[in-house]
Structure 1
Amino acid sequence: MKRHLFAATAVLGLTLAAQPAVLAQSEDALSRAIAADYDAHLEALYQHFHAHPELSHQEVETAARLAGELRALGFEVTEQVGGTGIVAVMENGEGPTLMMRADMDGLPVREQTGLSYASTDTGVDHRGVENPTMHACAHDTHMTALVGAARQLVERTDDWSGTLVLIGQPAEELGEGAIAMIEDGLFERFPTPDFNISFHTFSAIPTGTITYVPGYAMANVDSVDIYVRGRGGHGAYPHTTKDPIYLASMIVVGLQSLISRELSPLEPGVVTVGAFNAGAKHNIISDEAHLQLTVRSYSDETRNHLLTGIQRIANAQAEAYGLTEAEYPRIEIEETYTPALYNNPDLASRAVGALRARFGNEAVVETDPVMGGEDFSQYHRTEHDIPTFMFWVGGTTQARLDEYTANGQVPPSNHSPFFAPDDPEGTITQAAEAMTSVALDILAPAEGE
């Protein structure tokens, strides 16, 4: 998942010890059917996806396999939507339209899990660099669980009425796939959803536990470059120069006031300088420094305040240092950004009700929002204003989490070369059951039908 590496379960506000070690699933027809389907079909599918990841915008074989799985179930499948995205539609009478999304891309990471089906594939990334590839962010579980849910819903068409729109989304790791599908007519060429749902596997949640956040759940994510100009010269004669390293340092310090003194203490925001590059030799004062920032917020108002504040502070520091207006820093804000993920409270309440009815109250836990980003947020920021809900599914067994805690460690995070669900069956079957349960609730036939 792009740019939201949850470092530990404490970040989520979830106390592991308070959660059940293993989900006590009811032995009803749905859970039995999904467990049997995992043995017969889903396990091999998951291992295939895991062993053959493809990088963002290159998910050709992955999309073809996912499209084939859904087409075989009777969905009308369209490929190459927004590049390599797929859209699968099944109409089943009158009722709402529900979109369920799985992201498909892997990461440029060399896998070190030691799994028998570990990836040994490589790919050329968006910068033209060849890298080992890995499903280090569990998108393989997302696709497999989506197929698992689809297989159950096809078997239960008497239990729901409406339209299912299942999508395989490319390029989530770059934050570009959702908007690419939207701009390629996702909501015009295909049935416009009344609701959108998705899930994400997360390593620091115990298998058998689902977490969720109503309202703002994840942040706006902006990338900002500041090119600080100066007047270079000899390091022995600094008075004849305008040192961009000094000026950039003052800008870095000044930016801290945006959070500490301009935002309400109750309003979240992050301005992090992730890279500071300048100069080439001990005794030369360069003529430029380059700062690279990540900026996080929830509301559009806070986002605008932070972005305009960066420009204001950079210019003010340059003026105070005696630069002319023509020499002020150049600010570049990436046009494509990941907007904040907002879980519609009404949809969240309904979905959580369905999840708790199936898994029990203790297994479905409300937690705190985080400052990571996720481009699933794009689907509700259109003229259609479609209610959206994403939840998180555990990816590490409680026993393994206890081992990490006993050793003073944290589990490998998503994006780590060591991360894969250590109980993929538990993760995938719960996710498939959860998606199926929410879909059956939302698409439940009206009384009398």
Structure 2
Amino acid sequence: MTNAQDILRPLDQELVWQRELYKQLHRHPELSSQEEGTASQIEQKLTEFGYAVQRIGGTGVVGVLSNGAGSTVLARADVDALPVTENTGLEYASTVAGVMHACGHDMHISSLLGAAKLMADGRAAWSGTYIALFQPAEETAAGSQAMVDDGLVTKVPRPDVAFAQHVMPSEAGRIGTTAGPVLSAGDSLKITVYGRGAHGSMPHLAIDPVVLAALIVLRLQTIVSRETQPGQFAVLTVGASNAGTKSNIIPDRAELLLNLRTYDTDLRTRMVASIERIVRGECAAAGSPQDPDFEFYDQYPLTTNDAATNERVTAAFTEHFGADAVFHATPITASEDFSRIPDAFGVPYTYWTVGSVPSEKYRRAVADGTVSRDIPANHSPFFAPAIDPTLGVATAAHVVAALAYLNSPGQ
């Protein structure tokens, strides 16, 4: 493995502009597929660093740095913000009403741009090709597919390996890695069931979709509790049940919004089949006059780390950061669309987490058993990663991972 120390030696001075960039991005968040200002800044920086830059997938940006013979490494950062009203009190809080970088994507951008700069300035210490990819619309599960649909695999060199990382509300300065599933597959589903409307005083003339929806909600609970093998991970949440407009009107339809999370594609297939079976069965039992509608949306693929890639990168992290700074992460029930990019190329990948909560605060919360209360999670209006040491660790992690695969000069 190439020694990362030489390339990372200027990190402290690079962090000066990275911190300011992070604050600027945090002040001016942009929603999914609307990241024009963010994309323009990324393009400008990558061009300054000497990368061949192009837009792919609307507001997606890719920079390619060719540096002789050797492996090709792709590192990805997501760039979109969320429709959340910030309540952190930070001096660099969002200035956009109802929009916030509540998931740390501004940290992802700043760290990957820092790594891109260090890799460009340190070309004498490595050989190969480095690809910095900035993906839009992760929060809507649309961005990676948009880049693939726009010809990503034909517009940039085929990587040998791909990487991504995510800041999390865990202890700052520590990196979590794992082989196999690291983020769940996620599916949202809108189900519309139909009844027959009538006056509320004349229920005998109606087929009540409110009662039908209620029975479906109850029956759906058995998919996890009675149809899924104990020990297998599965979540089925009914997040919304909507029907009717007035107390004395029985409506003619009801809508349910479901969310599924799984680590196993076969289990996901069985759950979807069970949902359809239960919904159709309850509709038939109620005498529904019309078949139900099923509409899937916001679908996220399973993120499952290649074992050999994870092992190699974990070893590099351990060598650089020290054994105490690297831990075995448990799978997270959140979802991501990153894996569509390496899957489109047919290459292995690994995805790791970077802590963002000051050590003293995090350890005190753990000791007091108040993590869930005192440590705001991603997507919270209070989510505020500590810039230091998070930004430096995230930047260095990208460099260290890349150098685990890129050749030393002369190799």
TM-score, with length taken from structure 1: 0.86
Cα distance, 1:194 vs structure 2: 1.1
Corresponding residue of 1:125: none
Find out whether 1:34 has 2:23 as its counterpart: no
CA distance in 1: counterparts of 2:306 and 2:369, whole angstroms: 39
Tell me the distance in 2 between the aligned counterparts of 1:432 and 1:83. 26
**Among candidates 384, 397, 402, match of residue 358 of structure 2:** 397
What amino acid maps onto 2:295 in structure 1? E
1:140 is matched by which residue type in structure 2? D
What residue in structure 1 maps to residue 115 of structure 2? 149
Q: What stretches of structure 2 of length at least 5 have no aligned partner?
A: none
Aligned to 2:321: 359
Separation (CA, whole Å) in 2 of partners of 1:442 and 1:402: 34
Give me the whole-angstrom Cα distance separating, in 2, the residues matched to 1:319 and 1:29: 69
The RMSD of aligned alpha carbons is 2.0
* Equivalent residue letter for 1:396: V
Which letter maps to 1:250? L
Quote the Cα distance in structure 1 between the aligned partners of 2:8 and 2:88.
29
> What amino acid is the match of 1:388?
Y
Residue 375 of structure 1: how far off its partner (Å): 0.8
Alignment partner, residue 237 of structure 1: 202
Does 132-141 or 173-182 show the bigger shift?
A: 132-141
* Deviation digits for residues 192-246 of structure 1 (CA, Å, limit 9, x no counterpart): 111110111112x111111122111111111111111112223333233211111
More displaced stretch, 403-412 vs 256-265: 403-412
Is 1:194 aligned to residue 157 of structure 2?
no
Q: Which residue of 2 aligns with 1:6?
A: none
- Alignment partners' CA distance in 2, 1:350 and 1:402: 29
| Secondary structure, aligned partner of 1:274 | strand
* AA at the equivalent of 2:151: G
Distance in 2, Cα, partners of 1:85 & 1:369: 28
What letter is aligned with 1:397?
P
Aligned to 1:213: 178
Partner of 2:89: 114
Query: After alignment, is 401-410 or 340-349 more displaced?
Result: 401-410
Q: 2 CA distance for matches of 1:381 and 1:260?
A: 33
CA contact (8 A) 1:111 1:120 kept: no
Pair 228,147 (structure 1): closer, same or farther in 2 beyond 3 Å: same
Tell me if structure 1 keeps the 8 A contact 2:71–2:407: no
Give, in angstroms, the shift of residue 414 of structure 1: 1.1
Alignment partner, residue 333 of structure 2:
371
Q: 1:435 offset after TM fit, Å? A: 0.8
Structure 1 counterpart of 2:13, one-letter code = A
Provide the C-alpha distance between the structure 2 equivalents of 1:282 and 1:90, rounded to a whole number of angstroms. Answer: 64
Residue 105 and residue 349 in structure 1: after superposition, are their counterparts in 2 closer, same or farther (change >3 A)? Answer: same
Paired amino acid for 1:188? T
Contact 2:206–2:250, Cα closer than 8 Å, also in 1: yes
Q: Report the secondary structure of 2:279's partner residue.
A: helix
Show CA shifts across 1:416-443 (max 9, x none): 1221113x02001001111101111111
**Paired residue for 1:256?**
221
- Superposition pairs of residues 243-392 of structure 1, within 5 angstroms: 243-323=208-288, 326-334=289-297, 337-382=299-344, 384-392=345-353
The one-letter code sitting in structure 2 at the alignment partner of 1:33 is P
Please tell me the residue identity of whatever aligns with 1:429. Answer: G
- Give the direction of change, closer, same or farther, for the CA distance of 1:186–1:28 in structure 2 (3 Å limit): closer
TM-score normalised by structure 2 residue count: 0.94
What is the SS of the residue equivalent to 1:72? helix
Alpha-carbon deviations, 1:128-175, whole Å to 9, x = none? xxxx32211111111111111112212221222111111111111111
Deviations 1:351-405 (A, max 9, x none): 10100111111211112112211111212333x3211111110111022224545
**What does residue 75 of structure 1 align with?**
51
Rounded Cα–Cα distance in structure 1 between residues aligned with 2:59 and 2:302: 24
Name the SS for the 2:351 alignment partner: strand
Out of 81, 87, 95, the position equivalent to 2:70 is 95
Counterpart AA for 2:377? S
Q: In the comparison of the two structures, how many residue pairs are matched?
A: 406
Q: Is the 8 A contact 2:29 2:100 kept in 1?
A: yes
Secondary structure class of the residue paired with 2:181: strand
Which residue of structure 1 lines up, in the alignment, with residue 25 of structure 2? 49
Residues 161 and 342 of structure 2 are in contact (CA less than 8 Å); yes or no, is this contact kept in structure 1? Answer: no
Does the 8 A contact of 1:97 with 1:165 survive in 2?
yes
Gaps of 5+ in 1: 1-26, 123-131
Large movers: runs of 4+ above 6 Å: none
What letter is aligned with 1:57? S
Among the aligned pairs, what percent are the same residue?
38
**Partner SS, residue 327 of structure 1:** coil
Look up the SS of the partner of 2:404 in the other structure: helix
- CA contact under 8 A between 1:30 and 1:433: conserved in structure 2? no
**2:407 matches 1:441:** no
Query: CA–CA distance in 1 between the matches of 2:102 and 2:351?
Result: 19
Q: After superposition, give the CA deviation of every residue in 1:77-119 in whole Å (9 maximum; x if it has no partner).
A: 112x100111100111111111111111112222222222222
Q: Secondary structure at the match of 1:57?
A: coil
C-alpha contact 2:6 2:125 (8 A) present in aligned 1: no
Aligned-pair distance for 1:283?
2.6
Query: Are residues 92 and 30 of structure 1, via their aligned partners in 2, closer, same or farther at CA, if it must alter by over 3 Å?
Result: closer
